[in-house]
Amino acid sequence: MTVKERQDLLLPLFEHMTTLSRESIPPDQRDERLREVGILHRGTLFSCFHEKHLAEATRLYEILHDAKDFEDFFALAKQARDIVNEGLFVYAVSVAVLHRDDCKGVTVPPIQEIFPDRFIPAETINLASKEATLKPNEDVVVDVEETGNILDPEHTLAYYREDIGINAHHWHWHIAYPATWNPSHMGAVKDRKGELFFYMHQQMCARYDCERLSNGMNRMIPFHNFEEHLEGYAPHLTSLISGLNYGSRPEGFSLRDLKDVDVQDMERWRERILESIHLGYVHGHGEERIPLDEKHGTDILGAIIESSFESKNSTFYGSLHNWGHVMMARMHDPDGRFQENPGVMSDTSTALRDPIFYRWHRFIDNIFQDYKATLPHYTKDDLSFDGIKVTDVVVKAKSDNVITTFMKEDELDLSHGINFGTNHKVKVRYQHLDHEPFSISITVNNTTGAAKECIVRIFLAPQYDELGNLLTIEEGRRLFIELDKFKQTLAAGQSSFSRNAIDSNVTLSKVPTFDDLKSGEVSDDYSEFCSCGWPENMLIPRGNHKGKPFVLFVLLTDFEKDKVPDFQRICMDAFSYCGTKTGMYPDLKPMGFPFDRPIDHDHADELFTDNHHRSTVTIQYVS
Ligand code: CUO
């Protein structure tokens, strides 16, 4: 069977998930491997942060992964579709497709087309439905509705939080790195998974703060007080698998005990994690002490904090981050007496819409930063590359060193996710942030007398704080967003090279739609397409009308020191944020290097020498 034939067989399993009946095949009529699933009711919002939901999803993706051949896998998935919860089904089948050898080359359809109700406001879907009914013989396009107004200051950033691409990226990331991934069962190790959990989410926070500063807003205030009365939030989403709204959080609500977890548990886990950071080791089982050493510490902590299957002691350290998502999503109906849906924080494809997501993840990030502060600071030796001098860096766009951003129109096809009873297309028109094409041209003088291979690391951060004060490199350290990281050969002597933004290793270059996948208009390049990656249109923060100055930071490090021995490139896109699925992470340096540890700003100029370059880039928003 060809890849295309497999793709064609699997695609319909993901279509019209919002129209499945509540009925489930009784256990005695199922394939016996599927007798233990089907616990979470249809219509319930699945949460991959909820321990019980995730346990069932894990059972299913492991069963699907273990199927003896593609035919067996397909038959099981097809039957599971008539048994299990809708969201749980899509999650588990997606994990299986992404990791089965016989699905290599098959692409999971975009989550925004499978469940458009997680991305498009209910008012807009309602409008689309009316239009489709009134005009059954034509294609229909409706404009997306606003979800608030400026009475809520946070509404300014709705365009960012509700961006379809960033929410889809987050969903795909958690499919590529399931918290319950058991390497021995799945037959593959997810290299530095805990560290990647730290880094990818750290970058989401940094990007959000860059966007806030671009909009003249203060950086977010991290969550830290478990009794805090929180800001309100109304998602304007209605789940079509149940017809229930995603829960709103009225202004002033705070975390409450749930059936499965207490606020006090959370506080206890936080204290235990912080205590371990300051002791320099974590408690394994029994008397075991596992050091938080430089090489493995972040990874160990990531597994504990998330928490994942690889947590060294989940009884002692609990599941701080995951339960936090669930608690945040349930404070309007903590004991379930009103049978309300949870809020958007419970799901990876919707969580980024809520401002509390970023405050929660800054809280998580602060814990990692406490750990990073215990490590030795980088020295000149760690940061330099003898004989290599970056002499010039220019951003090439319409004007040198100015990048223009703007809002661009796009459309989302609702027809594969929702059955409107018409054979015509039903689409939503929306706007998303975008930037003009640009490249970065770098000139280097290599005086080593021979060609050298290096890793080019490119970051961007705002130059000024909220008050217009120049940020020192340490003050701005946690705002640096990675733009790209790639290998480059430097000829002896003076040479220049140029890197196109579209080739960035943090972004996904193209997302094939359901129709692309159906029609087969998918190039061979997609044979290693893993669907995970920051959207290309969101690579650059918005900047402002006046032109906002950012620092462009370029650092060249020695490839010989950073290379990973048996590196195999499995996923073609976005490895910096998404790794390589089941290969080694392709960079030996700590993720986020050199901004992952405090920098003594009095000595920053001595630390960063010839092999780095700092320049100013203006980001100009045009509307
Ligand atoms: Cu991705 Cu909290 O893990 O959102």
Clarify whether residues 411 and 475 are in a common domain.
yes
Clarify whether residues 276 and 302 are in a common domain.
yes
Region of 267 (left: φ > 0; alpha: ψ -120 to 50; beta: rest) is alpha
Residue 196 Cα, ligand 1 centroid: separation in angstroms?
11
> Looking at residue 34, what is its pLDDT?
97
The question of whether 15 is a catalytic residue gets the answer no
Catalytic residue among 86, 211, 306, 310: 306
| Ligand 1 atom nearest residue 325's Cα | 2
Clarify whether residues 576 and 456 are in a common domain.
yes
Q: Is residue 132 part of a domain?
A: no
If you write DSSP's letter for every residue of 578-607 in order, what string do you get? Answer: HTTTTS--S--SPTTTTTTS---GGGHHHH
Residues with CB under 6 A from ligand 1: 170, 174, 201, 321, 325, 348, 351, 361
In sign, the C-alpha dihedral spanning 205, 211, 213, 219 is negative
| Ligand 1 atom nearest residue 306's Cα | 3
3-class SS of residue 269: helix
Q: Is residue 128 part of a domain?
A: no
Clarify whether residues 329 and 253 are in a common domain.
yes
- CATH number for the domain spanning 542: value is 2.60.40.1520
> Looking at residue 368, what is its pLDDT?
98
Clarify whether residues 210 and 258 are in a common domain.
yes
Distance CA 319, CA 52 (A): 13
- Please tell me what DSSP assigns to residue 319: T
Q: Domain of residue 489: give its range.
A: 380-417+425-621
Clarify whether residues 461 and 345 are in a common domain.
no
Q: Does the bond joining 334 to the residue before it have cis omega, within 30 degrees of 0?
A: no
Residue 348 Cα, ligand 1 centroid: separation in angstroms?
7
Nearest partner of 213 among 483, 543, 471, judged by Cα: 543
Query: 351 and 357 in contact (C-beta within 8 Å)?
Result: yes
What values do phi and psi take at 111, rounded to 5?
A: -60, -30
Clarify whether residues 263 and 206 are in a common domain.
yes
| Ligand 1 atom nearest residue 324's Cα | 2
Q: Is residue 139 part of a domain?
A: no
3-state helix vs strand vs coil in the chain, percent to 5? 40, 20, 45
> Looking at residue 523, what is its pLDDT?
58
Cβ-Cβ contacts under 8 Å for 194 (sequence gap 6 or more): 298, 299, 300, 301, 302, 303, 304, 306, 308, 310
Q: Is residue 134 part of a domain?
A: no
Clarify whether residues 81 and 169 are in a common domain.
no
Query: 214 and 467 in contact (C-beta within 8 Å)?
Result: no
Clarify whether residues 69 and 44 are in a common domain.
yes
Query: 297 and 371 in contact (C-beta within 8 Å)?
Result: yes
> Looking at residue 386, what is its pLDDT?
96
CA atoms within 13 A on the CB side of 148: 21
Query: 20 and 241 in contact (C-beta within 8 Å)?
Result: yes
**Mean pLDDT per segment of 10 residues, for the chain of length 623 residues?**
94 96 89 96 96 98 98 98 97 96 93 98 97 96 94 96 97 96 95 97 98 98 97 97 96 97 98 98 95 98 97 98 98 96 98 98 98 96 96 98 98 97 96 98 98 97 97 96 96 97 91 91 57 93 98 97 75 81 88 95 86 98 96
Query: 312 and 290 in contact (C-beta within 8 Å)?
Result: yes
The count of domains in the chain is 3
Cβ count near 338 (within 10 Å): 9
Range list of H helices, 187-319: 193-214, 263-279, 297-306, 314-317
- CATH number for the domain spanning 357: value is 1.10.1280.10
Mutate to test the pocket of ligand 1, among 361, 364, 365 (most ligand atoms within 8 A of CB): 361
- CATH number for the domain spanning 101: value is 1.20.1370.10
Clarify whether residues 323 and 451 are in a common domain.
no
pLDDT in tens, 306-358: 999 999 999 999 999 999 999 999 999 999 999 999 999 999 999 999 999 99
Clarify whether residues 301 and 431 are in a common domain.
no
Residue 344 Cα, ligand 1 centroid: separation in angstroms?
12
